Homo-oligomer: A and B are copies of this chain.
Amino acid sequence: MDLNHNHFSSQDCGDCPIRHRAVCARCDARELDELEQIKYYRSFEAGQTIIWSGDRMDFVASVVTGIATLTQTMEDGRRQMVGLLLPSDFVGRPGRERAPYDVTATTDLVMCCFRKKPFEEMMIRTPHIGQRLLEMTLDELDAAREWMLLLGRKTAREKIASLVAIIGRRDAALHLSGKKGPLTFDLPLTREAMADYLGLTLETVSRQISALKRDGVIELEGKRHVIVPDLDRLLEEAGDDTDGGLLV
């Protein structure tokens, strides 16, 4: 289904994030060298906006560490998150001038950017880069469709359970986990960001997290650290039939 998902985590890359699944899993030495020429790093602090919707965007990029989000905002201020970028995720569209969404760092963040123009030229000469991008984009589309089911039809409780499951799994995948024991990880989002993700208000998020805790579905240490004693129970709460295959 999707091949290199976990082969190149940010850990593997050290400070050579061009080896991310994003771009160059199949590049040869000359191509890697060419990518080196056009890449540069950018760091952001938690909360910082990377680019505003409508702004010129002359790079494409891959997340090295930290978390970024894509959000849309309506005139009256209603906000909906439409993308959640974890390490190794790719952002930016070859051929597009301007960003269609706000891109924000929700934690401290390092991105590996490629200048767009030369990247596009290289894509034409190097078909497997385009092929990788196609695979990744299709994965993202699948994730978006799961997300649509969540937004359109799930209850608040199910939404929270789904979000916890999604983040827990991605976190586990990122840590190359073969390790057993209860799933344990930090929620990298504020209650407000979770609300934007789920199409809820932050009060409802808070209440439903409390409810899941009260019912023993999850345990909390502090406000962010989650322990999932029974993943199957959580998935059941999430109303999830897919066995995680598609959730990115």
Contacts and interface: CB of A to CB of B under 8 A. Distances in A.
Nearest to A137: B137
Nearest to A159: B152
Contact of A145 (B72, B96, B146): B72
Contact of A144 (B76, B78, B135, B141): B141
Contacts of A97: 1
Interface residues of A, number: 43
Nearest to A146: B72
Number of copies: 2
Contact of A141 (B72, B75, B137, B242): B137
A151 B241 contact: no
Interface stretch (A12-20, A79-87, A207-215, A224-232): A79-87
Contact of A142 (B76, B100, B127, B146): B100
B70 A145 contact: yes
A164 interface: no
A119 interface: no
A74 B153 contact: yes
Contacts of A153: 74, 78-80, 199
A41 to B, nearest CB: 25
Nearest to A141: B141
Contacts of A96: 1
A50 interface: no
A131 interface: yes
A181 interface: no
Interface in A123-141: 127, 130-131, 133-135, 137-138, 140-141
A39 interface: no
A220 interface: no
Contacts of A131: 130
B148 A93 contact: no
A142 B141 CA distance: 9
A178 interface: no
A147 interface: yes
Given A72-B145, A82-B148, A127-B127, 6 more contacts: A72-B149, A74-B239, A75-B239, A76-B239, A130-B134, A134-B137
Which 5 A-B pairs have CB atoms at the shortest separation, nearest pair first? A152-B199, A151-B151, A127-B127, A82-B145, A144-B144
